[in-house]
Amino acid sequence: MNTRPRKPGKVVQSINMFGDTICVDLFERDDGTFGFEEYRRDSETGEGWFPIGHYSGNVFENLEEASSAARESVAWLDSEL
């Protein structure tokens, strides 16, 4: 199965780490705020994607703020952008 858990909003950007087993999704909520989450996939188990960062509860006024916070919080993200 190659699905991610339900997001709190619409994904506007997804950045995969080399190897495609970890990613960060930036999303927009229905109320117009933004957030991000880091996910991991274990291809061996076929269980799909699951959150590992627990960042999705953080609320940002715009995409730029969410992106900046993601870059500060997720160590590998700068090297992939």
CB atoms under 10 Å from CB of 49, counted, come to 19
11 with 70: CB under 8 angstroms?
no
Residue 45 pLDDT grade (very low, low, confident, very high; cuts 50, 70, 90) = confident
Helix (H, G, I), strand (E, B) or coil at 65: helix
Quote the CA–CA distance of 36 and 29 in Å, as a whole number.
Answer: 10
Cα separation values, 53 from 3, 31, 75, Å: 17, 22, 11
Supply the pLDDT for residue 1: 37
pLDDT above 90: percentage of residues in the chain: 62
